[in-house]
Structure formats: structure tokens, C-alpha cells
Amino acid sequence: MRTPVIAAAAVMAVCLCGSFSFAEEDLNSRLNRLDAEVGKQTETIREQQKTIDDLKDRLNEQKPVESHVPEQSGKPTGLFGGSLMTNPYVSLVLDAKGYVSNLKNSELESRGVPGFTTEGRGLHNGFNIDAAELFLFAPVDPYFNLYVNIPINEEGVELEEAYFVTTSLPAGFQIKGGRFKSNTSRLNAQHPHAWDFADIALPYKAFLGSEGLGGENGVQFTWLPPLPVYTLLGIEVLQGDSNSLLFGKDDRWGPHAFSAFAKVSLDTSDNSTLYAGPWVLFGSTNSGSILPADEATGNTFNLRGDSALYGLEAVWKWKSGQQGVTVQGEYLYLVQNGDLTTSDPSGAPVSVERLKRHQDGAYIQALYRYGRWRAGARYDRLELFDDTFRVAGVQQQFSGKPWRATGSLEFNPTEFSTIRAQYTHDRSDPGGRVNNEGILQAIFTIGAHPAHTF
């Protein structure tokens, strides 16, 4: 503001000086002329000032607004790890269990599901450490994110997952590759510490094993088309070597496990969401884990053939303030055909017979959360509609339909800690003894904040 005042004064001084040369003129007319002159000059100054102001305004508009804001480069945004643990995102999850059962440890170890799997309970009376899972994540560059999951357990260190995910493919496409847990179903993709119960549902244990399909080497293609309703379509090509129950190591082929899935979801209200979809896992099987060794002869059994496991999952979630309800159910149906080789204890083949399996299973579970507490119930059973298990055309009898009933109560002091008490009445070995088991589970997470999938 000071500049125009000085300028005006200077102009006036110049004018005044100039006027002295016309001393003989009439004082009045001179004054009038001076007034007019000054008025004109002032007008010019005003105009110039206006131009200056306009220019300043225009300059201000062009300047990026952030320029007066603290420089943001180097400041973590907080997303994708964020905070003080920026790169990579690191977290460790401890999953510890106390276990009590009316069965002896030796009985638990050999307790499979007859007609499905020879895998034992996997827990023993007393203290169990499931794993301390190390989780790493970081964007690789603007095109890929990388995830690594390394469970450390009593047997050692395992590379359960190590995969990249593309972030910059157009048109809603995404490729995931490396070693990963298949996304065919929610339960399969979740890590054990993220399950709603201390163990996996019975149909999973029976058809895939107690960790589901588990980490498999391979590649996944997914597509999220621009539809009004969330619809995710995916296919996977997997090596199939890691899962010893449904697929197993195959010396003839490379990738021999494949999956296809579709997930559809819509919000049933502001606070509730429905999520459902069919899936299929198929490929060639080479498994010695379906039937236990014959106690009398010591003979072992190995299946070589083809398998297709069909699934249909549905989840409904409601959440409002302190409370939440989740209802989830799934139906699985297995079709398996192949040659069952019987070998004597020395490993020499005794016989080869045709095996044909059509079996199914389902589970349904419901959870209710109130604040930091959560209660759950689950019922799972096998052989709902079909129990075909034929060797050389002869139906095998496995004494009854396996089922379990589970109840649980959880306390979550924060989202980083969970203490869960679970009771299961287990009749998954109908010919054997009933297993009444209690599990006290503690799950703790340190490190970066996990994001929660639906």
C-alpha cells in the first residue's frame, strides 16, 4: 500500500515544480489546471494499481495451493504399512493353544476321518504352539506389491506364501503369482489365526487337509468387471505338489491343479452384506493319505487318478455399532476316479483296483459379537447326500456319518489380541471314540496394523 502513496506524492511534486515556469498566468486557472492534472495522474495510478492487483491475483491463482503447506515428500501417507514401519510392513502373529481331550495323545495322532483322510488331530494334550507367523509386505514399485508369509513352528521355518500382485493392469485385471493360498474360498485363503474358530471346518479337513489347500506355487488371474454388482471372476494354475491329500506330487506333469471361482456380493442394507460364490478345484491326484495302512497286513494304499472338488460358499454379515452377526456356510462335493494301488510293507505292489468316490460335506457357522466379546457356534458334517466310495465296484462301509459340533467364546482386548475358548464334540471318527476337546487359544499380533478382508 505504501508504494502508491509515494508515487502519488512524487507525481504531485513534479507537477508542482513544472507549474512555476508559468508564473505570469492567472493563479486560479493555474490551480484549476493543476487540480485536473493531479486528478488525471491519480486516475492513472489507480488504474496501474488495479492492474498490479489483478496480476497478483492471477499469479496467486496459478500458484499451486500446496506451496504454503509443509512439504509432503518423504512424509509417509500411512497407507500400505504407514507410520513408523513404512517399508516393508512387518508383523508377527503368535498362535498358541492349550488343548485338553478325553483321548490319549497316541489316539489323537492316528485319528483320521475314515474314508477321507488319514491326517491326525494335529494337536496334543497340553501346550501347543501352532506357529509364529512372520508377515512381510511392501510395494515393489508402482506396478507390483509383494507379500511374504513365513510361519515358524516347531519343525522349522516354512515358506507358506511369497507372491506378487499386480497393481497397474487396466480394465480390472489382476495377476497374482509365486506361492500363495488359493482364493477359491474365504476359508482357504485365510490364515489359521484369522479363522473364526481354532480349527478348519470338517469338510476342509476331510477333502483338503487341516490347513485347506495351503500354499501352492502357481499363478492366478482375476477380473473385476465393471458391473453394477460386485462380481469377481478368477482362475488359478497351480503346481499341486504341496497338498498331499487332494493332489500330491506328480511325476508326470508340471502344474496339475487348477481352480476357477466366481464371487458375487451385494449390500442387503447399510449395515449388512451378502457374499457368495461357486468354486471348483480340479487336477490329477497322487495321494497315499486317503486310506490308512491295513492293521492286519501292514499294506498301504495309494491313489492315482483325477479329482474335482466343487464348492459353494455363502456369507451374510451384519454390523451395527458394538454388535455384529456373521452367518457362513459352505457345501463341498468331491468327484474322484483313479487306480488304487495296494502295496505290501516292503513297498511292492500287491494289487491295482478302480476307485470311485462321490462324497460331500458341509458346515454352517454363526458368530455374534458384542463389543470386545464374540460367541460362535459351528456344525459340520460329511456325507450329506452322497457317500459313494467304491473299490473295484464294491461300496466300502465306514460306519456312520462323521460330524462335529463346536461352541466358542472369545475376548478381544484390542484388535491385536484374541483369547478364545472353544469346545468341540467330535464324532468325525464314527467307528472310534468320541473326542470331547477343549481348546484355549491366544493370538497376538505385533508390528504393522493388519487390514481386514471381508
Does the protein bind another protein through residue 256 (CB under 8 A)?
Answer: no
Q: Which residues contact 381 (CB under 8 A, 6 or more apart)?
A: 202, 361, 362, 363, 401, 402, 403, 404
CA distances from residue 269 to 105, 226, 231, 318, 452 in whole angstroms, order as listed: 48, 21, 18, 9, 20
Does the protein bind another protein through residue 74 (CB under 8 A)?
Answer: no
Does the protein bind another protein through residue 415 (CB under 8 A)?
Answer: yes
**List 224, 327, 364, 421, residue binding another protein (CB under 8 A):** 224
With 0-12 CB in 10 A as exposed, 13-18 as middle and 19+ as buried, what is 174?
A: middle
**List 173, 253, 373, 385, residue binding another protein (CB under 8 A):** 173
Does the protein bind another protein through residue 232 (CB under 8 A)?
Answer: yes
Q: Collapsing DSSP states into helix, strand and coil, what is residue 115?
A: coil
Does the protein bind another protein through residue 75 (CB under 8 A)?
Answer: yes
Does the protein bind another protein through residue 368 (CB under 8 A)?
Answer: no
**List 18, 39, 126, 172, residue binding another protein (CB under 8 A):** 172
Judged by CB under 8 A, the number of residues near another protein is 60
Q: Collapsing DSSP states into helix, strand and coil, what is residue 233?
A: strand
**List 221, 275, 310, 368, residue binding another protein (CB under 8 A):** 275
User: Which of 38-46, 90-98, 124-132, 217-225 is the region at the interface with another protein (rule: CB under 8 A)?
Assistant: 217-225
CA 101 to chain centre: 32
User: What count of Cα atoms within 13 Å lies in the side-chain half-sphere of residue 298?
Assistant: 5
Scan residues 416-445 and list those touching another protein (CB under 8 A): 416
Q: Which residues contact 219 (CB under 8 A, 6 or more apart)?
A: 175, 176, 177, 236, 237
Per-position x/- string for 317-336, each x denoting binding to another protein as judged by CB under 8 A, each - no binding:
x-xxx---------------
- Answer whether the bond into residue 88 is a cis peptide, omega within 30°: yes
Beta-sheet pairing, 144-153 with 156-157: antiparallel
Does the protein bind another protein through residue 27 (CB under 8 A)?
Answer: no
Q: Which residues bind another protein (CB under 8 A)?
A: 61, 64-66, 69-70, 72, 75-80, 82-84, 139, 142, 145, 165, 167-170, 172-174, 222, 224-230, 232, 263, 265-267, 270-271, 273, 275, 317, 319-321, 371-372, 414-416, 446, 449-454
